C-alpha cells in the first residue's frame, strides 16, 4: 500500500481512526469538533487561536418544493456548521469551544411559499490534544487492534 503521512486516515480502519508513525491506531478527527462547553471532554487545550463570528442569511422562494420549513432550517444549520468547521480548520484549529447558534431574524410565510432566516454562529477556535488515558480511548484502541489483526489474517 502507498505510504501515508502520520495521522492521515487509513482506509482499512473505520473512521475516525488513523495509524501513527509506530503503526498503532490513533484517534484522528477529520473535522473540527463543535461544543457549547468551554473545553473538549477528554482533551486539553493547547493553543487559543481566536474568536469566530459568522453570520448566515438564507432566503427561499420555493419552500414547499424544497421539503418545507423544517427542511429549510435543517439545511441552513447544517451548512452553517460545515462552514464553521471549515473556518476553524483554516485558522489551524481542531475545535470550536463555547459554540453558540443565535437566530437573529426569521420570517416564514408558507402561504406565499417564502422563507427568510438569519443566524449567527460564534465560539472560540482552539487546538486541542486528546489525552491517551481518556476513558473511551483504551476501549477504542483495543477494538482497532482487533480489527487490524482480522484484516491481516485475510
How far is the C-alpha of 30 from the C-alpha of 7, rounded, in Å?
10
pLDDT at position 109:
61
Mean pLDDT across the chain, nearest whole number? 76
pLDDT at position 30:
54
Summarised one tens digit per residue, pLDDT across range 89-133 is 899 888 999 999 998 777 766 567 777 788 999 999 999 887 765
Cβ neighbors of 43 (< 8 A, separation 6 or more) are 95, 128, 129, 130, 131, 134
pLDDT at position 110:
57
Nearest to 35 by CA among 102, 131, 125: 125
Which residues are bridge partners to 42 per DSSP? Answer: none
Residue 137 pLDDT grade (very low, low, confident, very high; cuts 50, 70, 90): low
Summarised one tens digit per residue, pLDDT across range 31-77 is 788 999 999 888 889 999 999 999 998 877 666 666 777 777 888 88
How far is the C-alpha of 74 from the C-alpha of 117, rounded, in Å?
12
Q: Which segments within the chain are labelled E, that is strand?
A: 17-19, 25-27, 33-35, 43-60, 95-109, 114-130
How far is the C-alpha of 96 from the C-alpha of 128, rounded, in Å?
10
More confident residue, 149 or 4: 149
CB 97 within 8 A of CB 124: yes
Summarised one tens digit per residue, pLDDT across range 4-35 is 555 555 555 444 555 555 665 555 545 788 99
- C-alpha cell recorded at residue 86: 471549515
| Ramachandran category for residue 98: left, alpha or beta (phi over 0 → left; psi -120 to 50 → alpha) | left
Taking 90 as the threshold, does the pLDDT of residue 84 lie above it? Answer: yes
Amino acid at each position: 500500500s502507498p505510504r501515508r503521512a502520520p495521522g492521515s486516515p487509513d482506509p482499512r480502519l473505520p473512521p475516525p481512526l488513523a495509524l501513527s508513525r509506530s503503526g498503532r491506531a490513533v484517534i484522528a478527527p477529520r473535522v473540527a469538533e463543535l461544543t457549547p462547553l468551554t473545553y473538549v471532554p477528554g482533551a486539553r487545550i493547547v493553543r487559543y487561536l481566536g474568536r469566530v463570528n459568522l453570520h448566515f442569511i438564507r432566503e427561499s422562494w420555493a419552500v414547499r418544493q424544497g421539503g418545507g420549513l423544517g427542511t429549510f432550517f435543517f439545511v441552513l444549520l447544517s451548512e452553517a456548521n460545515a462552514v464553521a468547521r471549515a473556518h476553524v480548520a483554516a485558522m489551524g484549529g481542531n475545535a470550536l469551544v463555547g459554540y453558540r447558534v443565535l437566530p437573529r431574524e426569521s420570517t416564514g410565510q408558507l402561504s406565499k411559499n417564502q422563507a427568510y432566516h438569519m443566524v449567527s454562529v460564534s465560539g472560540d477556535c482552539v487546538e486541542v490534544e486528546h489525552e491517551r488515558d481518556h476513558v473511551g480511548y483504551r476501549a477504542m484502541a483495543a477494538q482497532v487492534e482487533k480489527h487490524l489483526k482480522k484484516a491481516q489474517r485475510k
